[in-house]
Amino acid sequence: MTTDRPARDRSRRSADAKPLLEISRLSVDFRLDTSVVHAVQDVSLHVHAGETLAVVGESGSGKSATALSVLGLNPTPPCVYAGGEILFDGRDMLKLSEKELGAIRGRDIAMVFQDPMTCLDPLQRVGAQVAEVLRHHTGVSRAEAREAALAAMDEVGIPDPALRYRQYPHELSGGLRQRVMIATALVGRPRVLIADEPTTALDVTVQRQILDLLVTLQHKHGMAVVLITHDLAVVAETADRAVVMNKGKVVESGDVVDVFDRPADDYTRRLLAATPRLEAV
């Protein structure tokens, strides 16, 4: 079976360069009443500063469970971290206390999800939610946090930030809400951004704008970006390297050009064959 093959990494990057985030042999189980789901099995991946790594695979392949593990966000129970380590800044994230993780979330490592409505508080003005991240992590004054939030909203392309600042999430379009999420993620100037299907819920034109925005911001700030997606066209347009997952395992990894032009694994070949839009990329 293809998934039992050792994962290949055909990256051209020097083996000496130290990754900013490195997952080694991670295994994650969900222990349910009558069964155990081995959602992530022996997964290793890494990302460097200034690099975009795509984690790609079909629904249920373990992409989100892997990403959520980085910040300890899988629900426990039923989640059990069954093995491996996640190194960030020399520390194993799996060994940190909830308090230590809380200090890293949103400040050093931030996440953007598919549906901003699940993350934004419907009862709070959006600007206050962006500012709150800074207030939480730094000792800045309310006025300073407001200024920084307005600047972040401007940076992510929200027109008339002062007006939008005072609005509630339901008053914004889906694209603007996703921009607010990105502003919330970036206002703390994280070193790693994990984006889990950030454009899946958006229409094609807005998808393109949000992807362009992520690429621009990544280059500007030199962040490491982990982009989780089932959409290979998104990977082709955005990522430097790709990790392909199937049934909880990494089946292939390497530079995007190599993975797409010369896929080594049958599963990757099938994914590519099932993505007609790629012919035009």
Ligand X SMILES: Nc1ncnc2c1ncn2[C@@H]1O[C@H](COP(=O)(O)OP(=O)(O)OP(=O)(O)O)[C@@H](O)[C@H]1O
The footprint of ligand X (CB under 6 A) covers: 30, 37, 39, 57, 59-65, 75, 78, 230
Q: At closest approach, how far in Å is the CB of 89 from ligand X?
A: 25
- The smaller minimum CB distance to ligand X, of residues 1 and 280, is found at 1
Return d(Cα 109, Cα 47) in angstroms, integer: 12
Q: At closest approach, how far in Å is the CB of 54 from ligand X?
A: 13
Q: At closest approach, how far in Å is the CB of 242 from ligand X?
A: 14
- The smaller minimum CB distance to ligand X, of residues 158 and 228, is found at 228
- The smaller minimum CB distance to ligand X, of residues 67 and 185, is found at 67
- The smaller minimum CB distance to ligand X, of residues 69 and 178, is found at 69
Q: At closest approach, how far in Å is the CB of 251 from ligand X?
A: 13
- The smaller minimum CB distance to ligand X, of residues 57 and 263, is found at 57
Backbone angles phi, psi at 146, to 5 degrees: -65, -45
Tokens standing for 105? 């979330």
- The smaller minimum CB distance to ligand X, of residues 37 and 272, is found at 37
Q: At closest approach, how far in Å is the CB of 75 from ligand X?
A: 5
Q: At closest approach, how far in Å is the CB of 111 from ligand X?
A: 13
- The smaller minimum CB distance to ligand X, of residues 14 and 59, is found at 59
**Could you please report the per-residue DSSP string of the chain?**
-GGGSPP-B---S-TTSPPSEEEEEEEEEEE-SS-EEEEEEEEEEEE-TT-EEEEE-STTSSHHHHHHHHTT-S-TTTEEEEEEEEEETTEEGGGS-HHHHHHHBTTTEEEE-S-HHHHS-TTS-HHHHHHHHHHHHS---HHHHHHHHHHHHHHTT-SSHHHHHTS-GGGS-HHHHHHHHHHHHHTT--SEEEEESTTTTS-HHHHHHHHHHHHHHHHHHT-EEEEEES-HHHHHHH-SEEEEEETTEEEEEEEHHHHHHS--SHHHHHHHHT-GGGGG-
Q: At closest approach, how far in Å is the CB of 124 from ligand X?
A: 26
